[in-house]
Structure 1
Amino acid sequence: IAANGHAESFGFYQNRLMHVFTYASMTRPLTASQQKMIGGDERWGITPSDPMGTTIRRINTPEGNRIVIRNGWSFDPSMQISPSRIENYVKSHRLSFNRRYPELHDVDFEYSWGGRLCLSRNTVPAFGWVDKNVISACCQNGLGTAQGTLAGMAAADLAMDRNTEVITYLTNHDAPSKLPPRVLSYIGANATIKIKEFRARKEM
């Protein structure tokens, strides 16, 4: 199983995985004059010093030159979010975008979405044998590209009865800790997120 938080949907790690969403918006393609207005390279990315801050990317593809802005977090144990939830975060994206690019205040967002992360309370992976002929390579704790690739490779080695340093590292952890009851988890996690976002407000 390499389904990250959806390991729970298969009956594993029940009430042990935290399903956190982060949100992003992408502008429509910038016109040639708008690109000239902001100048600089056609493609780049900026990561905030505070992980709760705003990440900005400028992308250049055959479909056009666009800016992608990402900020905002929420804890949603149901693993689902509503369109209205996304719309609320689009307002935050608009403010962040306008602060950085007041000259582009009339550039609309063409796409907005939420993406899911899987975390464990004790920041450990959900890796290893979970049933007969079933290996879990889940819960990357926010480092999906790196940890997910590593866990997938390790799962293949584990299935072949190979022992590697990566397998030793991934299995040398306790299991993901149990979470408090869902209502308490929801209130506590989202309150913590809001506090951290407030502290990172200068980078939002």
Structure 2
Amino acid sequence: MGFTIGGIRELRSGSRRRGRTSECTAVAEYTGLWGWDVAPGARAGNGQCSCGDTGCASPGDHPLEFSPEIPAGATLDDVAKAWSDVPGAAVLLPVGRGFDIIDVAEQAGSRALVRLERMGLPVGPVTATPTGRAHFFVAPGGAAELPDLLYRMGWDDADLDLHALGSGTYVTAPPSEMAGLGPVRWLRPPSLDTAAAPPQARLLLGTLAYISHRT
């Protein structure tokens, strides 16, 4: 897959050019336009993780410990310089800072997204993972509020395939692959208004819970 176990060391011929035009450009957009921090992440191939730990519990699905995060506001030149130390790294976004995540099955998420947009409700960025999940970006604090919100909406005792991710977790962002299973893609890409101020979880949760329950 172009890297060696024990640290991401891709073949230098062409890897930096590809990084500059894909990962670096995407990371610079995340930091410069959307105001998100980015963590270089490990990648997986043949069941092995590029972090070098042969017993890694999450191959290709965690930040690289030796590589610092790239802060919000970093320019393309800043990103290219930082990424040259970890060519081929996955693009991970720290959750709990600019956004939290509501995680639902992709089928339910796609149906809910159509309904939310028809209803004119504010919707933030949404990604789809190769594991069949949809990640709805909501305002920070949404993960902590989820149990109480579900209780107040009467969904606390329902069997819902719906979860929240908050501070201390990371999500893989396009154009990277997630855990060697395939690329993450946008169902609804970020925009200037939704990236900086994603909607409160309560505005989406009723629809997401209803569709998840029906699906």
Tell me the TM-score normalised to structure 2 length: 0.27
Query: Higher Cα Rg: structure 1 or 2?
Result: 1
Q: Which structure's relative contact order is higher, taking Cα pairs within 8 Å and 6+ residues apart?
A: 1
Structure with greater helix share of residues: 1
